[in-house]
Structure 1
Amino acid sequence: MKVFIVDDEFLQRQLVKKTVNWEKLGLEIAGEAEDGEEALDKILEEKPDILIMDINIPYINGIQVSEKVKQVLPDTQVIILTAYGEFEYAKQALSLGAASFVLKPVNPEELTEELIKCKEKLEKIHHQNNSFQKMKEEINQKQREQYLLECLSGIGGMEKEERIRQILGIRKPVCYVVLLLRFRDKEGKEKQLEEIGDMMQDYFPEYECLEINQQDAVFLLYGENQMEYQVQLLGGYLQEEMNQSAVFWGGASQPRTAFTELKEAYQEAYSAGRKGRQQKRIHIFEPMDMTTFLGIISYESETINSLLKKRSYQEYMDCVEACFDRMKQENVTQQAAYYVAMDILVHFSLYLAEVGIDVGTQVEVDQRALAKLQDYGSTEEIRDILWMILERGRILLESHKVPATRKKVSDAKEFVDQNFFRFDMSLNLVADAIGVNASYLSNIFKKEQGCSLSKYITSVRLEEARKMIRKYPDKTLLQISEEVGYGDVYYFSKSFKNQYGITPSKYFEESK
């Protein structure tokens, strides 16, 4: 805490500075002044916690300085130095908010005692302010969640787009997808949600989770244009990693940009979830014409992917080619061909990562090449690009040369350790930084470390937050959460409790 001294006598200022053990008290001298005018300018600039001031100083006396300081810095504690004949002035200063007065000549023990009282009072004020701020943040988050639930159900969200974004705190243009998950096991839902959250963060660094009831949870996934690939990749990953025993299933909406359409997005996710329940997987909403089309060409993702698992690579390629031949015969739209191509690419990429083949960032390049053809390319062009991708992968699979993984995992950890505070920290960011494919990195990291990369990012951030809470008790949870890379203080608090079994607010109390 900072202390400022005001006295027109140089020797008196020196006496105050030299007779108190400032370091032992945890205080430091921030500055000094010899008159009221000079004092006011410096005090408003330095913003000291404690002001030690003679009552009789030139130009502007101590009472007036104290009054003006209290108007701008109400928490600053003022100790008045006064002579025997100045009791009336001292009483007036106390009535205007001064903490106490000390008689001249100054007794070091008496001044030290008053400084300790001021420090204790300031600590109490800071604690109350922090508690109020934390409570305000928690209330705001709960109100936001309630409004979001009302928008999804159709009760709320009647405002204009700009107003909805303002209430939700969404400033930049963003796409979103609503993902609805239903859990078979109510008891294990909380643990499963934590694991899913780790995976979710790999693909969507910005997301939020709302628990609707004992069985259902809704995720809002935020991203940029062309989210379809990431959503399909996430769905495939969740299905591969978590859903082998069908402990949960769900549905995802189509990507949207308007938050006035939250209700429609939720209805899409709900509709897709019903199909996901039948198939025991994560199902992405398909418009009616797409569903009809998939039935016409007899496209079954599971059947084609099973050939990969059996290592029947040539049969797999033949099956994909036959699928596109049927599309050509039925004269399907390029959007439908793009949908099938992306579904094939997603599962093919996941399989390459699963068997330990790193294709660098080539998959992302391929995905972007396909995305360009979504609205303007022909079915033949889409097929040709997909075929080139699959053929390149097939050659890698048949040679099956698996690169060393330990160095890449070490590079990933080093990058996270040095950049954990970045809001955009994600699986994709780390993969780009070390020059590997995201799915491949996710797979090798989990095998080497026994946990997902996002789990490692979370543990690094939370450990740093734990240290900061102990080291900087004056900081709010919002400040700490932002400094370790969390844009959402509610999600930070929830993650902290999951890791340490205690809320950050309670940890702060126990660390005092």
Structure 2
Amino acid sequence: MKVFLVEDEFVVREGIKNNIDWESHGYEFCGEAGDGEIAYSMIQKTKPDIVITDIKMPFMDGLTLSRMLKAEFPWIEIILLTGYEDFEFAKEAIKIGVSCYLSKPISGENLIKEVDRIALRIEEKRQEREQARRYEQEMEERLELEKREFFGDLITGGKGFSELVDQARKLSIDITAMEYNIVLLKVWSTRHDAYEYSNSVVEIEKSIKEVAEKAGAIYFDLNVEGIALLFRLGDEESLYSKIEKCIDEMKSVFDRYHHIRYFGGIGQTAHRITEIPKSFEWASRAFAHMYLTSENGFLYGTEEGLNPENEDVILSEIDPRHIDRKLIKEFLRRGEESETGFFVDEFLNGMGKGAIRSTMMRQYIAMDIYFCVADFAENELGIERESREATVETPTPEILGSENSTMEYLVRIISSAVALRNEGARGHYRDVVNEVKAYIEERYTEDDLSLNSLAAHVNFSPNHLSAVFKQQTGQPFIKYLTDYRMNMAKELLSTTSKKSNEIGFMVGYKDPHYFSYLFKKTQGMTPTQYRNGETSEASL
């Protein structure tokens, strides 16, 4: 911690400065001044933790200096020194928020005792602030995870209206409206591979969130799959108007970055919460065109494939003589398995709706895509020919006999190649994730264990590690860490008689209230109920 001294008497100032071995006590003597006016400018630059100042000084006295410092740097602790036994000074010092009021002369031993006492308080406050910061960060990560799970429930149609409304209310989300529409968006940097997130992408995503929330849209972070925005409004015309306005604002953000690519898919209006899955399907169809164009933009999902009023993306008619293998390769390198069906559908639609109906054209298209996938597996994934032939299915007359079986075959072989690519990536990062898991097992009792500290340990950026960890384990880091700690807590509850607040501390939670809250939220019961063998609320 840094200490700054303000004293107009040169002899006293030199005595305090030189008669105390500040460094051996753990302090940096960072500066001195003979009056408050000079001191104020110096303190603005050095930003000490503790200021020791006389009250009576020329130009600016100690009380005035203290008042100004507390207004600008409220965390600075101040020790006032005075040779005057005036109670009015003491009252004013207390009002300002001065830490200590000492009478001169004072020995170096007594002064350092007061400095040590104040330093201990500063450290306690720092720890409290850091604990609060980590608590807020963990709560924010958990909220994002719960919102992601809620979005999954919205688009799969697995839950009814009342369940979704109740789930949204718990997340403080107002989901009720007359109409809904979904926008899917992905932003990536051309300077990084598929797993890397540059600082500019992180900045852009923060700006997108601000723009979306300003427009009243609900922002969902889908991790490596991109971003989803759920728009709600009263009538279709104004809903589309709101989306267009939001898109224009997002474009102004994108325009500030020259190495950024982006693509968005916009669904059709849904008039009920339970129709949102259909809106998501149309948005996904439009979103699949990200792999069919090298242009940035937003595409509306419609029966015609493109909203006539939207000029962001204009896809040329692709005729069978000009099948672009680069589009297939682009998807194989960057696409997700969940997107394969939409991609194949839109890729074929680009050739004209009649292309897949012709037996000859089906054979031509299927064989061309087969050779493209085989080449990707062999030359980019490094799979030997014998292994490749066993994993990349060869088209047969039976498969190519109908439109449906051909479509299913194309989805199947492209999905298999993407799965092979992902498996290769998982293998590449397996050692890193295993190291992270081992680190968690060793350090889970430490309350400051976080994604940031783990990322620093394995020399990854936090966003990069988050994406890799999710792909490798199938769950977000914060959920994995929480589940691990909860399992250790349950073991301690079952095998020891320790109090729940002690157990919370032992598994990494200094705040007993937060531990109890998290235990009940994840296990469906309180720690006491678990110890007593009661049934969880989730199973009732």
TM-score normalised to structure 2 length: 0.44
Highest relative contact order (Cα 8 Å, sep 6+), 1 or 2?
Answer: 1
Give the TM-score of the pair, scaled to structure 1. Answer: 0.46
